[in-house]
Amino acid sequence: MFKSKRSGLVRRLWRSRLVTESDGRDGCRGGEGGRNGPCRRHSGNAGREEEEQSLDALANAVETKEGIPSECVMVPRTELQLGAHHISPQFLLCKLYRWSDLPLSAHLKALCHCQSFDALDSAKVCSNPYHYSRICGPESPPPPYSLSHSEEHKPLDTGTSLGSSTSDGHRSHWCSVAYWEQRTRVGRLYPAHEPSLSIFYDLPQGTGLCLSQLHTNSYHRNSHSSSVQQIRRKIGFGIVLSREPDGVWVYNRSQHPVFVHSPTLDPPTARGLSVKRVMPGFSLKVFDFERSSWMAGHGMKPESQEGPWDPHSVRISFAKGWGPCYSRQFITSCPCWLEVLLNNHR
């Protein structure tokens, strides 16, 4: 099962540093197995089988870079010692297998399908490095709505209105996604009903919106454009869109940056379009429910927007940016891009 050098390293690392007794048996206090060596296990065949399953899941994630979905790898929520610093198991594996430059101050975000998502008080934590992303840091001062807590600025219940249930009890879609190549839309609108949606061009065993399938089923005039073909190859594993309690997030699974814009990313007084770059392995909240409610309540529209304006749309371009800081002024000049239409009771 573990044939490659990488898998062998995963096995050795797991046994020597991470597989610990969480209940303090055999004279080991919880957490010390991670710092001073492993505690002995006496749980019999069931325990060994569970350990092997965890090792398999970890090796699968590392070797495929999550190209094939892998399970959570749960370990006691403890600290490991790295030099003079104490770090978490997930931080250690993310630094070893994903980001060698990961600073100690980095904030890791569990993806929405992970058992550790929003489970801060759980006794165990997932240490699968491909169940985490880094968060894009803030690039501007806090927006006005975060500076006041008066009733006037109290956020509306926008978050729950996205993807609410219909009258017959079925859950409606929370967004629709359109795929574009330059000025031409390819395929039909794709509705998202589940909280997260994978959008990719080439992903083994992937489920979600497969852009290559849209392209195969829809001939169009850009199909032979060299720039479009070049960017198609860069989409790869693509992105994950997720509807979370505070807003809509984008996680970049590809090997190239993606560029995003939405009404809630623009400062209210911005005179230029705010297009944000999301590097591989990073996540960004691209639509903020609270900010959207605040803007709607104050009738605010970014100064950079002229003409018709959709306050509930997000645009995402693969590999190429647009706007004032780029040679392409409009997203319709980008080879491959997405339009995410949030279903705010349209």
For the domain that residue 306 is a member of, what is the CATH number?
A: 2.60.200.10
Q: Do 327 and 186 lie in a common domain?
A: yes
CATH code for position 68: 3.90.520.10
Q: Do 131 and 179 lie in a common domain?
A: no
pLDDT for 278: 96
Asked if the structure places residue 2 within a domain, the reply is no
Instruction: Count Cα atoms within 13 angstroms, Cβ side, for 193.
Output: 5
pTM for this predicted structure: 0.79
Asked if the structure places residue 170 within a domain, the reply is no
Domain end, chosen from 135, 165, 185, is at 135
- Give, for all 346 residues of the chain, the pLDDT tens digit: 445 555 565 555 555 555 444 434 333 333 333 434 444 444 567 767 777 888 888 888 888 888 888 899 998 888 888 788 889 999 999 999 999 999 988 889 999 999 999 887 789 999 999 999 999 876 544 444 444 333 333 333 474 445 555 555 566 899 999 999 999 999 999 999 999 999 999 888 888 999 988 866 665 555 568 889 999 999 999 999 999 999 999 999 999 999 999 988 877 666 667 899 999 999 999 999 998 888 888 777 766 555 567 889 999 999 999 988 889 999 999 999 999 999 975 5
Q: Do 130 and 240 lie in a common domain?
A: no
Amino acid at 340: V
Q: What is the four-CA torsion angle of 269, 273, 279, 281, rounded to 10 degrees?
A: 60
pLDDT for 166: 54
Q: What is the four-CA torsion angle of 102, 108, 114, 117, rounded to 10 degrees?
A: 170
Q: Do 125 and 187 lie in a common domain?
A: no
pLDDT for 60: 85
Phi, psi of 22, rounded to the nearest 5 degrees: -80, -15
Domain residue limits at 87: 49-135
pLDDT for 248: 96
Q: Quote the number of domains for the chain.
A: 2
Q: Do 184 and 331 lie in a common domain?
A: yes
Asked if the structure places residue 86 within a domain, the reply is yes
Asked if the structure places residue 167 within a domain, the reply is no
